[in-house]
Amino acid sequence: MLIKTKKYELTPKMYRRVGMQYILRKQWWLPVAIFVGIIALNVIINALGYKNWWIYTLAPLGAWLWYLFWWIQYTGIPQLPQNQVMFEKYSYEISSQNILMKKTPQEAMMFKWDLIKEAHKSKDAITLVISKGQFLHFPFKMFNSDNEIKFLETILIRKNLLPSSDNEKNEGNKEKTTTVQVSGNGVLQKSKKSK
């Protein structure tokens, strides 16, 4: 099956939103570590006898500066002339072999699936991550039917880019497993164990 999407243009605002969601999902621990590290350092300094309470203001400031750094990055990338190609209107042809990004019927760019590092599904879109600054964002409104969305999800599950819905359901449940053993005389014996 081949998925042919409607034309879609990634706006700089949507790019920044998706980029910030990605970086917060991948590096959520870093602003927390900055905040806790500054607090811990000040507690140690206070325990050694040097009393300074103003350093506690640096903890939220440090975490905020980390957030601001990435916000500036994702705001600035669309402004660069070499990145303007990411923000043009494209239609996509998606198959299990590759993703074809078409500007016109004559102009196209192909992505092999091995370029995609990971995928994320939200309530209204699927995002394919190529790098920290490059991704393909597919809102569900650009697909022609729900079957195309399900087919894309199936491809992503097969490529191990999205978790299988069966795995998610079974992780929280305790399930019974059946093991089969062959005795010395060739008779099968079943034993049930619960996890």
The pLDDT tens digits for 144-186 are: 999 999 999 999 999 999 887 655 444 444 444 334 444 444 4
Is residue 89 in a domain? Answer: yes
Q: By CB neighbour count within 10 A (0-12 exposed, 13-18 middle, 19+ buried), where does 67 fall?
A: middle
**What is the domain extent for residue 8?**
3-167
Residue count of the chain: 195
Is residue 159 in a domain? Answer: yes
Is residue 193 in a domain? Answer: no
Q: What pLDDT digit, counting tens, does each position of 85-99 carry? A: 899 999 999 999 999
Q: How many domains does the chain have?
A: 1
Is residue 152 in a domain? Answer: yes
Q: How far is C-alpha 154 from the geometric centre of its chain's CA atoms?
A: 16
Is residue 120 in a domain? Answer: yes
Is residue 180 in a domain? Answer: no
Is residue 8 in a domain? Answer: yes
The whole-chain average pLDDT of the chain stands at 85
